[in-house]
Amino acid sequence: MTPVTRVKYPSAALAAALLLGLAAPTASAHPGHRVPFTAATVTDHADGTSTISWDAPGTHRVTVRSEGRTVARGGATGSVTVPTRAGADRHWFDLVPDRGTPLRLADRLIRLQGTANFRDAGGYRTRDGQWVRMGEVYRSDALDRLTDADLAKLRRLGVRTVLDLRMESERAAAPDRVPVGATHTVADVLAGSGTFTSMPKSPAEAEAMMTGGNRFMVSGDTARAAYATVLDEIADGDGDGVVFHCTAGKDRTGWAEAALLTALGVPEETVMADYLASNTYRAAANEAALSHLPPDRAAVYKPLLDVRPGYLNASFDEVREEFGSFRAYLHEGVAVDAHQLKALKRDLLVG
């Protein structure tokens, strides 16, 4: 694996395309891959329809199937909008090319009454043309407000392991609700670190707090132990039915996701777009929080609510400065050896 490089903020159009899986790498996009899709996405809509888009160079025909029946057909590149079954937990679609391996996708967001940022960690293409499986690993904000219906839904989705990245004070104030039969494991990233224990006095101080916190998530002792637990659980548990979360699902959770995707070979630009997506999913909650503050206090608080390119770049900078490369971070920082990395890729990648 090459040394970590600084990730630049993508343009708005590119960020949206990467988030949706629509930006196709050019160097490795050839029909020799088992999975011929260089881009594919599913987007659910409030009107009870889903849009499925794809790009599969080298194919002639793609059949879209859902629940065992064909719902659409198209060529090597296509986008279709189809009605979906009301009441389904998720709307899954199989994109079946006339040559190569099919790809199974759903909308990334898991719609629950008690969360705003619960989403699938998969559905991304790696640099070498494989895809991260969906329906295996999830990331989320706090789970204390899950309703009984939410818990039943997560149980049907197969959530069996909850990894709680929050501090003791957060866990005591808002205990997790977990599906029946699921295990709950504490992986406290900031335990005893003193990070985020006081309010900043200016926007600049708030940004510095966030970048410092993101550096600690890489090299802090408790952070390294916590993320080692997360990656070990995913690797040893066949990556099946795991959800990791913090309070907002954006910082501690954001680095867990960034580390996982980077380990799997997802391009840096895609990792950044996934990280920044918390700004979209949490927009309403953040706006509500800021609306109750005076303008001067809102200006100080906003950097704490945002995810920004500089925050994630600070984590990758820390990787490079402390470990030299991401491969070294995996081995020395979070104790992921070659066997575990191979297990992660075997269980979570298709193609």
- The SS3 call for residue 338 is helix
pLDDT in tens, the chain (351 residues): 334 434 444 444 344 444 444 333 333 334 445 999 999 999 999 999 999 999 999 999 999 999 999 999 999 999 999 999 999 999 999 999 999 999 999 999 999 999 999 999 999 999 999 999 999 999 999 999 999 999 999 999 999 999 999 999 999 999 999 999 999 999 999 997 776 667 899 999 999 999 999 999 999 999 999 999 999 999 986 557 999 999 999 999 999 999 999 999 999 999 999 999 999 999 999 999 999 999 999 999 999 999 999 999 999 999 999 999 999 999 999 999 999 999 999 999 999
Strand partners, 66: 69
Q: Is CATH 3.30.70.520 the classification given to domain 108-350?
A: no
**Contact, 96 vs 65, CB < 8 A?**
yes
Residues near 225 by Cβ (< 8 Å), separated by ≥ 6? 187
How many CA atoms are closer than 13 Å to the CA of 171, on its beta-carbon side? 16
CB atoms under 10 Å from CB of 200, counted, come to 17
Q: Write down the pLDDT at residue 200.
A: 93
**Contact, 347 vs 233, CB < 8 A?**
no
Q: What angle do CA 303, 265, 127 make, to 5 degrees?
A: 105
- For 138, phi and psi rounded to 5 degrees? -130, 160
CB atoms under 10 Å from CB of 1, counted, come to 13
**This prediction's pTM:** 0.90
Residue 246 annotated in active site: yes
Q: Write down the pLDDT at residue 238.
A: 55
Where in the chain are the domains? Answer: 108-350
In the sheet with 69-74, reading across from the earlier edge strand, the strands are 69-74, 62-66, 93-97, 103-105
- Ramachandran quadrant class, 295 (left: phi over 0; alpha: psi -120 to 50; beta: rest): alpha
- The SS3 call for residue 54 is strand
Q: Write down the pLDDT at residue 348.
A: 96
**Contact, 230 vs 188, CB < 8 A?**
no
Q: Write down the pLDDT at residue 303.
A: 97
Strands 242-245 and 137-140: parallel
Q: Write down the pLDDT at residue 237.
A: 67
Question: Residues 116, 246, 264, 304: which is the catalytic one?
Answer: 246
Of the candidates 260, 252, 234, the one whose C-alpha atom is nearest the C-alpha of residue 312 is 252
Tokens 């777009």 correspond to: 273
